[in-house]
Amino acid sequence: MAIKVEVIEDLSTLYRRATRIIAEQLADGAKTFGLATGGTMLPLYENLRSSNCDFSQCTSFNLDEYVGLEKEHPESYLSFMNNRLFHAKPFKQSYLPDGEAEDVQAEAKRYEALLQKNTLDFQLLGVGENGHIGFNEPGTPFSSETHVVMLTESTRRANARFFNSIHEVPKLAITMGISTIMRAQCILLIAVGEKKRAALEALISGEISEQIPVTCLQKHPNVKVLTDIQLKGV
Ligand code: GLP
């Protein structure tokens, strides 16, 4: 299997390793980075902020964005990226889907077209408890491109911790599709905490199924996984 799994129990060691992988990508000439949000990425972006990585000649594309949150809302993914990374480590150009677009379907098409013109050298991924990547919820076709998605109750509940209540969590988002993500040259997935065990086990040793979106990565030739979860047989 092409998936390389590194189990690192100590989280600061795990995040140092993730930081080094990105620094090596830069040193190897990667220019186009797919970026992710979520709690998992916070320590990584903290490390990157104080690293000597220079992204000023690089382009970034984020995986997803909520629909209907103002850009200035602290939990919009644009705010997340500005506050956690971009203010300290600006890229030459950074793209996110526009969740405030009047026509979100057209916006998804526009974002996909941009991504078709720009191959991602590297894609950073987290994973949802239900196995979602980006906001590709269970049942999303592996052939999907960037699209508008209705978030599941479980994803909204998981993300409610960032809002005052679940009622504030948007119901829609724009996300890169599974086939969009799979076009990246190489992928680093970080999964931390027992809550991610089922998704991770499915990725490492489960059957490939659209019901668990992360399992699509079994078909990708260059995936690395960093986790603190002890897995049988790894
Ligand atoms: C969110 C994001 C994903 C992220 C996942 C896990 O809904 N859209 O890109 O990987 O859920 O989030 P966390 O890292 O907070 O567990």
* Contact call for residues 65 and 76 (beta carbons, < 8 A): yes
Confidence (pLDDT) at 200: 97
Q: Residues 206, 35, 56, 31: what is their CA dihedral angle, to the nearest 10 degrees?
A: 40
Nearest of 158, 105, 112 to residue 131 by alpha carbon: 158
Angle separating helix axes 42-49 and 11-27, nearest 10 degrees: 60
Q: Looking at ligand 1, which atom is closest to the CA of residue 63?
A: 9
**Contact between 81 and 36 (Cβ < 8 Å):** no
Torsion of CA 160, 163, 164, 166, to 10 degrees: -30
pLDDT at residue 233 in the model: 72
User: What is the reported pLDDT for 172?
Assistant: 97
Q: Which of 63, 65, 127 to mutate to test the pocket of ligand 1 (most atoms within 8 A of CB)?
A: 127
Nearest to 170 by CA among 184, 179, 159: 159
Q: Which of 159, 170, 181, 148 is nearest to 35 (CA)?
A: 181
- Catalytic one of 64, 65, 112, 145: 64
Catalytic residue among 82, 118, 130, 222: 130
| Count of H-run helices and E-run strands, the chain | 7, 10
Is 137 a known active-site residue? Answer: yes
Work out the number of other CB atoms within 10 angstroms of the CB of residue 193: 13
| Protein residue closest via CA to atom 1 of ligand 1 | 38
Task: Using the mean position of ligand 1's atoms as its centre, give its distance from the Cα of residue 198 in Å.
Answer: 15
pLDDT score, position 1: 55
Cα–ligand 1 centroid distance for 110 (angstroms) = 23
pLDDT at 234: 76
Torsion sign (Cα): 124, 129, 131, 135: negative
How far apart (Å, rounded) are the C-alpha atoms in residues 178 and 183?
Answer: 9
pLDDT < 50 positions in the chain: none
The answer to whether residue 98 is catalytic is no
The pTM assigned to this predicted structure is 0.96
